[in-house]
Structure 1
C-alpha cells in the first residue's frame, strides 16, 4: 500500500479527532463520541490477529474500534497473553503483530528471519504510561495527599532498608504530613512483568548504590507480598493499611501516589509529566537491526515537570510480510496507532502519555520503510 493511501486512511480518523478537539479544551482533549466516526470502504480487509502485552489491552481495544470504523472489512482480534507469549506467538507466524513491554532481544530478532519475507522484525514504541508508586495509608491517601520521595527513599523502601512510614527519610521530605509509626508492607508483581522491568530500571538508574539488583522482569527480592498482574497489585494494596507498590497509573484508582523528586522539585504523576520525560529522552542508536526504534528513557531527567518513572510498550512487525495483505494491514495499523488521533484515542481510554514528536518522527520513518 502506498504511503498516500495510508495517510488517507489516517486522515479520516484525524478529521474526527479534530472535531473532538474543537469541542474539548486543555491538554487532555479527546475524540468526540466515537459513534459519530463515519465508516468508509478502504483497501484494508481480512482477519488479523495480534497478541502480547496486557498493558496495552485497553488502548488496543480503542485502536481496533477507531481503525474498524474507517476499515469496516478488517476484522481484528487481540490476545493480551503477555509480552513474552505475544512475541513467541508472532515468531511462529500465527499473528500479524506482537505487543511487548520490552524491545526484542538479539535472539528474537534473528529468529524473525523465518517469519518475515525479507529482513528481520522491528519494534516501534506505540504506548507510554507513567508507573505510579502507589500506597494505602490511612489519614494520608484517603485524604487525597501525595507523599514526596526521592529515588533513594523509594529504593530503600523496596529493598527493605526503610521499614516504617514515619522513617526520618520520609518525614523530612513530607514535613506537613502526619506519618504513623506503622510498618511498611511492600506489594510487588509475582509474575514476569514489563512493569517490574521498567520500575527496576528507574531504581537502578536513579538511586545509585541504594539499588543493587540487576534488571529483570521478575521481582528481585522476597520482601512483602507478591500479586499477579497489575489488577492483583492494586487490589492487594487497596485491602490493607500501610501498603505500597507500583502499577500503571490508569489502574491505581483512589490510592495515594508518590510525587518523585526531579532536580529540586517533586513532580506528581500525570500523563503530561510522563510525556515531558520522554521529550527529554533519546532513541537508542546502539540497537542492532534495521528500522528498530527503541527509546532510552532518561530516568535522571532534570526537565521541568517531568515524571521519570515511565514504561514504553512496543509493537513488533515485519518489514516485508509473506502475505501481502497482512503487510498492508500492518503498515496501516502502525501508521494509525502512532498518529496523533491514535495516541489521543489511547489517552482517552487509558490516561496514557502521548508519544512526543522526537519519538514519533523516528517511528514514522520506520513504518514508511515497510514494503
Structure 2
C-alpha cells in the first residue's frame, strides 16, 4: 500500500530582504542575523522606516557585521559561542527573548498524551540515549497520573550549529554534568549537537517540528515560538527550585530575570538553570542587538522603539517581553531612555471570578443483559453514560479536567471487577473557542480521565460508551456499580 506523507511548514518569518552588499549607507540602516526575529523586526521598523533587515542566520549575520557590511546584527549567541572570529569592537545588548520548549509527540490509540513532566536528569538521559522508552521507570516516576505507552523514544535535534542547541546543551551540562560529560566528553555547551546513537538530526527548527509532528514517540527542543505555532505539546520541566514549571510568558519572564548579565552585555544562564526562584522556567534565551562600540542615532531610534514600545509585539509570536529591569539596562547601554512617559488614562473593570459547574442527566444507566461472545469465552454488554454537562465561567479560562472513578459491580450473588469495564469518551457538543480532548479508550480499573479542556470557557456536553465483560462463571443477579465524576 502506498503511504501519503504530509509536511507541515509553519513560517515564522516575514519578508526576507536580500543580504546586503557593500558598506552600509548612512541613510539606510542595515541589519542582519537570526531568522527568528524577522517578523518582529518588521513590526519594529515603525521606529526607523529606512531599516532593511535580512534574516540570514545568526552566525552569518555576525560575520557580515564584523566585515562592516551591516550596522547591527541580531543573534541569540555571542560571536565566540557561534564560532565566528571577530576583529571589530562590539557590544551585546539584550533586546528580545523567549523560552526553549521540550516538545514531544506521544499518542495512544490516536489520542495525544498531554502534560508530561521531566526533570533535568531524565531529559539528559533521554537526549544521551540512556533512557529509550516512554514507559521507562524514570519517566513513569515523574508522571504517575499519566498512562505512558511501551513506545520507543525518538529524540530529534538540530543538524546544524544553532544558538538553541547551545542553550539546551548548556542547561544539560550545568545541571547534569556527569551524564552529559560521559556522553560527550569535553563538549560542555555546544552549538552543534554531538552525534550520539539513537539521536536523529534534521536541519532547521521547522525540520525538527515536522519530524516531531509526524513521528509517534518523538521528543525534541525548539524555540517556544515554533513549538507554539506547530501546536506541539510542551513538557513541564523541573526547575532549580524543585518544582515543575510549564513554558508560559510569565514563567519565561521570571526565568529571564534570574539570568546574570556580564560586563560585555552577554548573559550567563546558569543561575536560571540551578537557581531556587519559584516559578522560573529554566530554559530561556535572549536575542542580542550586536552593535559597534559607538552607536549612531539610527540604531538608537530603532532600539528605543524595540525596547520601549515594541516588546509586546512578540507575544503573538511566542516571544516574551524582557523584564523591565533588563529593558532599562539595555536602554542605558545604548544611551537612550524610555521616558518621559506619555499621557495616559487609567481604565478599570471588575472581572468576576465565575465558577465551574457540572450536571448529569437524570437517571441511571441500565445495561442490557450480557450476551455470550461467539466463541463462548465471555459475556458482554454495553451502553452509554448519561449526558454530562460542564459549564465554565471562570475568569482567565484556566481549563478543566473531568475524570471518573468506578466501583466494582456487586450483588448478593457476587462481584464483577471494575477492571472488566472500559469506556470510550466522547465530546457531544462544545462551545466556539473551546478546545476539548476526550480521554483515552481504556479500562476503568482505576480513576480515568474522560476529557481535558485546554480552553474550557463555555458549556460542553460529554458522555462515554461503556463496555462490560462478564466472566461466564458469574452467578445470576442484579449487579450495580457507582461511577463518581470529578471536574477540576
TM range (shorter): 0.7 to 0.9
Rounded Cα–Cα distance in structure 1 between residues aligned with 2:109 and 2:219: 13
Q: In the aligned structure 1, how far is the partner of 2:209 from the partner of 2:252?
A: 20
Q: Any conservation in 2 of the 1:135–1:141 contact (CA below 8 Å)?
A: no
**Counterparts of 2:39 and 2:156 in 1: how far apart (Å)?**
24
The residue matched to 2:294 in structure 1 has which SS?
coil
Question: In 2 relative to 1, CA 141–47 (structure 1 residues): closer, same or farther, beyond 3 Å?
Answer: farther
- 1:97-121 superposed Cα distances (whole Å, 9 cap, x missing partner): 1111112339978611xxxxxxx22
CA distance in 2, matches of 1:334, 1:294: 17
Cα 1:202/1:359, change in 2 over 3 Å: same
Per-residue CA distance 1:34-92 (angstroms, 9 max, x = gap): xxxxxxxxxxx93222111122222222222x32xxx5xx3222211111100111112
Structure 1 residue 294: deviation in Å? Answer: 1.4
Alignment TM-score, normalising by the size of structure 2: 0.58
Superposed counterparts of 1:211-230, under 5 Å: 211-212=180-181, 213=184, 214=187, 215-222=189-196, 223-230=198-205
TM-score (norm 1): 0.76
Distance in 2, matches of 1:86 and 1:148, equals: 36
Indicate the residue corresponding to 2:74 in structure 1: 99
Residue 191 of structure 1 is matched in structure 2 by 160
* Partner of residue 31, structure 1: none
Distance 1:228 1:271 in 2: 27
CA RMSD of aligned residues (A): 2.3
Counting only pairs closer than 5 Å after superposition, residues 43-58 of structure 1 correspond to structure 2 as 46-58=27-39
- Structure showing greater radius of gyration is 2
1:4-19 equivalences in 2 (<5 Å): none
d(CA) in 1 for partners of 2:169, 2:289 = 22
Consecutive unaligned residues of structure 2, counting only runs of 5 or more, are 1-25, 338-488
Which residue is equivalent to 1:61?
42
DSSP-derived class of the 1:256 partner: coil
User: Structure 1 or 2: larger helix share?
Assistant: 1
1:315 maps onto 2:282 in alignment: no
Mapped contact 1:319–1:369 kept (Cα < 8 A): no
Which structure dedicates a bigger proportion of its chain to strand? 2
Structure 1: distance between partners of 2:79 and 2:201: 27
Report deviation, 1:236: 0.8
What does 1:1-371 correspond to in 2, within 5 Å? 46-64=27-45, 66-67=46-47, 71=48, 74-105=49-80, 111-112=87-88, 120-139=89-108, 142-143=111-112, 145-212=114-181, 213=184, 214=187, 215-222=189-196, 223-252=198-227, 253-262=230-239, 263-285=241-263, 292-297=264-269, 298-320=272-294, 327-339=296-308, 341-348=309-316, 350-368=317-335
Residues of 2 paired with 1:140 and 1:259: CA distance?
23
